[in-house]
Homo-oligomer: A and B are copies of this chain.
Amino acid sequence: MGQSLLKVLFGDPFAVMNTIGLLAFALVGSSKAIREEFDLLGITIVGLAMAFAGGATRDILVTRVPLALQSPIEISLGLLGVGLAITLSIVLTSPDTHPITLLADAIGLAAFTTTGAIVATEAGVSAFGVVTIATINAVGGGAVADILLDRSPFILFDDFYASCAVLGGCAYFLATVVGVSGGTAAGLCAVVTVLTRLAAVTYGWTLPTVQGLGLVER
């Protein structure tokens, strides 16, 4: 734990992004469960599922024991995010759609895209593997949270959500190809992801449906 804290203080890109992502996604996941009037256990489960499901899937894909089960600080950060969501739900109405939550979601998306890209690159997978693991790390938690809430995962409908993670993952891979430092690649990945996400929310970017393209008879 101490070591992890030191890493954060000294700016290890993975530790910084992982800390930000855990707090942000636990907050967002819990807010969704509060909206659905789940009990405190359900709120905690959905919050922790959103915070850890993406990273656990990433770790399983590179065949290592999920970090969350090895480091106490990880769970503490997740529970802190759950507490923040409950606090927000007291001071805000419909916290799950409040700008603070939307911002937290965009920040979490960017942070986890970056952690995924870092771990995948260390695991030595293909370019497709880096972008895929970065995207799964970023959107996996939200998808699991939605499945727990018995909804069709919103990532399939919100066009510029997973797309932002894909763009961020590509940015990270390209940055490493041109040989910049890991910290620079991580920062670039996070900035590309969060800016494209915020722009998508602000300007309502969408991708066309096949029907929308007028290619298919409705």
Show the binding face of A for B, using Cβ within 8 Å: 33-34, 37-43, 45-46, 56, 60-66, 68-72, 74-75, 86, 89-90, 93, 120, 123, 125-129, 132-133, 143, 147-153, 155-157, 159, 162-163, 206-212, 215-217
Rounded to whole angstroms, the CA-CA distance of A163 and B182 in the bound complex is: 41
Contact call B71/A126, Cβ cutoff below 8 A: yes
Rounded to whole angstroms, the CA-CA distance of A40 and B206 in the bound complex is: 10
- Looking at the assembled complex, report how far the CB atom of A53 sits from the nearest CB atom of chain B, in whole angstroms: 11
- Looking at the assembled complex, report how far the CB atom of A111 sits from the nearest CB atom of chain B, in whole angstroms: 21
Task: Select which of B34, B61, B211 is within 8 A of A65 by beta carbon.
Answer: B61
Query: Which residues from chain B contact A86 at a C-beta distance below 8 Å?
Result: 210, 215
Interface centre among A46, A93, A128, A152 (most CB of B within 10 A): A128
- Looking at the assembled complex, report how far the CB atom of A49 sits from the nearest CB atom of chain B, in whole angstroms: 10
Interface centre among A65, A74, A125 (most CB of B within 10 A): A65
- Looking at the assembled complex, report how far the CB atom of A99 sits from the nearest CB atom of chain B, in whole angstroms: 18
Contact call A150/B148, Cβ cutoff below 8 A: no
